[in-house]
Chain A
């Protein structure tokens, strides 16, 4: 496989979650979430109950993938930022370290300038955490799946 397995541990998750929560506060955003490039939700904070995060994550990843495809055609390495402006709400999408995507949804309680500023700082921090996390995974941290048996897998389908 081309990419190492994405794994999330409690330690790194807590660091990531703290950054996401701080970003909601400091940028006055409605919701902030982080997804991987395949559309898996990693962390979220803010008014998350009102959102279908799984759907949003998959669509955002598709959007970023499509934009990345356009960049390739233009021989750009990547468009790292996207901004969608709505009547009441806006979405700011930032690619972090070419691996995860930081999404901020905000309304007129704040401004694009402030969101951009806070996102910049948060992405630098997030990038460091994900780098460390990946190094840990590459060094061969164990997974629970080493010990599962064929019976475990069969049992999943016996209903």
Chain B
């Protein structure tokens, strides 16, 4: 649920990075944080375990620029990917405007990807959202790993609807901004459409 402030002339949107454990959600945000000008970003907050697994969420506020005199601000969140943190994932999805599904391209993670995608659908439905109506994009991450599934295969499994999708190596930043821009664009387009 975006927030339009006529006073400060700002529009705020919430984007959630979803996906199985260790697929690289936090790495996406870290790369964005490291490559963004100081004036365009706030502090990045990571609520993580001692082994750097996301415990509750990562948060990164980002300013993208102006549209018709309104500053566009995006709040990026990641969910904890580990299966048993499901209750927390549901909370982070509240009020979401756009979703990035980060898949782990490694063949060994095929099942984890599918499970996480199903979990995303279930959790969205619980809150009255439908993934098919929500702005969302898919990222096939870890393309640099030795045993990865072909993109066509991942696409067939995880993106039958054919939303914008991107190959990525988040640790090196490959595909990271492409993914972010695509989802931001979909969110803004939806805002425009949602206003009769």
Contacts and interface: CB of A to CB of B under 8 A. Distances in A.
A54 B3 contact: no
| Interface footprint category on B | 35 or more
Given A2-B127, A62-B56, A153-B185, A38 B6 contact: no
Contacts, number: 128
Interface in A36-86: 36-40, 52, 54-55, 58-59, 62, 65-66, 68-69
Contact of A7 (B4, B92, B94): B4
Interface residues of A, number: 42
Interface of A: 1-10, 13, 36-40, 52, 54-55, 58-59, 62, 65-66, 68-69, 140, 142-148, 150, 152-157, 159
A4 B194 CA distance: 11
B192 A148 contact: yes
Interface of B: 1-7, 11-12, 14, 42-43, 45, 47, 56-57, 59, 61, 64-70, 72, 75, 87-88, 90-92, 94-95, 127-129, 181, 184-185, 188-189, 191-192, 194-196
Given A39-B75, A59-B45, A153 B67 contact: yes
B123 to A, nearest CB: 12
Contacts of A154: 185
Contact of A144 (B68, B189, B194): B68
